Chain A
Amino acid sequence: MEVVVGAIVVPVEGVQALQVLTILFGAPLVSGVIAHFEARLQGRRGPRILQPYYDIAKYFRKETLVTEESSWVFLAGPIVAFACYLTVPMLIPVLTTFPLPLGYTGDIMGGGFILALAGFAVALAGAESGAPYAQLGSSRAMTFGALIEPTILFVIFAVALITRTDLPYALSATIRSSASQMVRPSHVLAAAAFFLVVLVDTGRIPVETHSGTLEFGMIDEARTLEHSGPPLALLKWGSTMKQLILYTILINVFVAPWGLASSQSLGSVLLAIVALLAKAMAVGGVFAIIDNLFSKLRLFKITEFVASAFLLAVLSVLVFYAGGG
């Protein structure tokens, strides 16, 4: 979609910066909208839509308490994770259909690696703290990660096979090109597999209840239990950013790559920002509905769940080889 509003052209570095800034500042908004929507579905009034911003600001004002056993790793983890989350938006199609200059510094595999690095840093910081529940959460996250990472890899392979390149921009362009691309079985399977991966990585039902602190079932939330103050703020912010990044990949690479700016004019860029946030809220709404329809799986059944995601990813590659599908 191309809407030329005025002739103001945003310089390419500006668009690049806008990508990162959109994710940075739009993430808590998306998170707040999802929480509000979920509460409404359950018949409650729900928190304010801007609540996450207030929470992050509050955490920045608090003091940092550190356990005796932890070292610099405990404080470095959140910072490393946050830095990763700031890097990834440069590599994936957030606002534009054409690759931006820094977009060539890493392909989709690179993006996957950086996201994994972020998760690893947070888990390491949690395990390092010496507190039992934080360690529990870290070890669980890494265990399930053992099956999720191969799934992500296979999804990446499927993407690479379909487009013969590794750039996520290329895949979204291919998807936009015709209807037959949308119904390709390998594409549908890869998208379904990635959907399940997002569900696991953002810690939603049926893998984890993201609201409340049920220690017996917590995975992602438990890793951050021991942090406080500004590191906690960075962690919370980072996790909302991770959520939005994953949604962005799901939307702009797999499911609905429309509404991206195809030129550098200000109008189209602004439209792209709005479209992205709106689509992300829609996806989040879907997750909220899933939240209300299903119950949390018992911990040992989560392996079945991630195995199913792995199955879908493997099948997407196999079906591609089987018939060019």
Chain B
Amino acid sequence: MHHVPSTYDGITAGLAVLVLLSEFAMLRAPLLRSQVRLYAFQSLVVASLAVFVAASKHIDELYVLAALSLLLKVLLVPGLIMRLLRDADTDLAGSSVLGVASAILIAIVVAAFGFFAVGSLHVSSSSLPTSALSIACAIVLVAFVLIILRKDVVSQAIGFFSLENGVSIASLVVASGLPLIVDVAFLFDLLVAVVVFGVIMRVHHLRNDTLSTHDFDRLRG
């Protein structure tokens, strides 16, 4: 723990921290549009992290992966959601149950738990520093907090997509040698899931004329 990390480690961990920070920023974003933009930014950072790893460790497959995820997560998915937002004509994210400051504090506690849980595994990897895996776990947990606290379908969907970003970073850390075909299959599966999300969101909006999940309390017990 007392050794000084190299510049490569520092930069990659820094990029991972940037992704985590954008996750926290989503807790705060009041407009749905800004959440979508934050998600696009986050995916951009993840893609650049993949490119950086590919360049430094000479794993060429990651270039393809980075390009595909750029296309999918930075351009296509935000575009689809923006279109849904335009049709739905809503602006504000559903109010969350707690205030922003409390949400941030809860998310900090949750992220700290994730850090230490994963840190105790003593995972060592050739492609990224260990801290990146802990950060990825923290991103996943904060995405959970986001989904639990938000009360409209678009915020919850974006929370889910950013959770996938966290899992992508984890896969970069521990599974950068995963066969490319598998990674591509994962990505396209994600695309299909996005399409289904979109369909169901649209159905919900057409039926209830709102994107809020406030009335989702009919089915109980």
**Direct touching of A and B (C-beta under 8 Å):** yes
Q: Does B212 lie at the interface of the complex (its beta carbon under 8 Å from any beta carbon of A)?
A: no
User: Does B37 belong to the interface (CB within 8 Å)?
Assistant: no
A293 within 8 A of B: no
Residue B112 lies at the interface, judged by CB distance under 8 Å to chain A: yes
Inter-chain contacts of A178 with B (CB < 8 A): 4
**B interface size (C-beta, 8 A):** 37
* A7 touches B (CB below 8 Å): no
DSSP class of B's interface residues: helix, strand, loop or mixed? helix
- Check A323 against B10 for contact (C-beta < 8 Å): no
Question: Is residue A296 within 8 Å, beta carbon to beta carbon, of the partner chain?
Answer: no
B105 lies within 8 A of A322 (CB): no
Contact of B101 among A303, A315, A318 (CB under 8 A): A303
Partner of A319 from B17, B105, B108, B116 at Cβ < 8 Å = B17
Bound-state Cα–Cα, A38 to B39, Å = 35
CB < 8 Å neighbour of A311 from B2, B9, B104: B104
Does B20 sit at the interface, judged by CB under 8 A? yes
Please tell me if B56 contacts chain A, counting CB pairs below 8 Å.
no
* Partner of B131 from A180, A183, A312, A319 at Cβ < 8 Å: A319
Q: Which of B132-147 contact A (CB under 8 A)?
A: 132, 134-135, 138
How many CB-defined contacts (below 8 Å) exist between A and B?
95
Are A324 and B5 touching (Cβ within 8 A)? yes
A44-80 near B? 1/0 per residue, CB < 8 Å: 0000000000000000000000000000000000000
Asked if B111 and A323 make an inter-chain contact with CB atoms under 8 angstroms apart, the answer reads no
Main secondary structure of the interface of A (DSSP, over half): helix
Q: Give the distance to chain A from B98, nearest Cβ to Cβ, in Å.
A: 12
Q: Which of A184, A189, A312, A322 contacts B130 (CB 8 A)?
A: A322
Q: Is the CB of B7 within 8 A of A183?
A: yes
Please, how many angstroms separate the alpha-carbon atoms of A188 and B135 in the complex? 16
- 1/0 contact trace for A281-324 toward B, CB 8 Å? 00000000000000000000001100110111011001101111
A300 nearest CB across to chain B (Å) = 9
Q: How large is the interface on A (under 10, 10 to 19, 20 to 34, 35 or more residues)?
A: 20 to 34
Interface residues of B in 159-193 (CB under 8 A from A): none
Known A-B contacts A315-B20, A325-B10; A304 and B101 likewise in contact (beta carbons under 8 Å):
yes
**By the criterion CB–CB under 8 Å, are A323 and B4 in contact?**
no
User: Is A179 part of the binding interface, using a Cβ–Cβ cutoff of 8 Å?
Assistant: yes
Asked whether, in the complex, the Cβ of B4 is within 8 Å of the Cβ of A180, the reply is yes
Q: Is the CB of B131 within 8 A of A324?
A: yes
Interchain CA distance A103-B108 in the complex, whole Å: 35
In the bound assembly, the distance between CA atoms of A308 and B116 in angstroms comes to 21
Give 18 A-B pairs besides A185-B14, A325-B5 with Cβ atoms closer than 8 angstroms: A180-B5, A183-B7, A188-B14, A304-B28, A307-B104, A310-B104, A311-B24, A315-B17, A315-B21, A315-B108, A319-B13, A321-B116, A322-B115, A322-B131, A323-B131, A324-B1, A325-B13, A325-B131
Give 12 CB contacts A-B under 8 Å.
A180-B4, A183-B7, A183-B14, A185-B14, A304-B28, A318-B138, A319-B13, A322-B119, A322-B134, A323-B131, A323-B134, A325-B13
A binding-site residues for B, Cβ under 8 Å:
164, 178-181, 183-185, 188-189, 303-304, 307-308, 310-312, 314-315, 318-319, 321-325
Top 10 nearest A-B pairs by Cβ distance? A323-B131, A322-B134, A183-B10, A322-B131, A307-B101, A180-B7, A323-B130, A303-B101, A185-B13, A325-B131
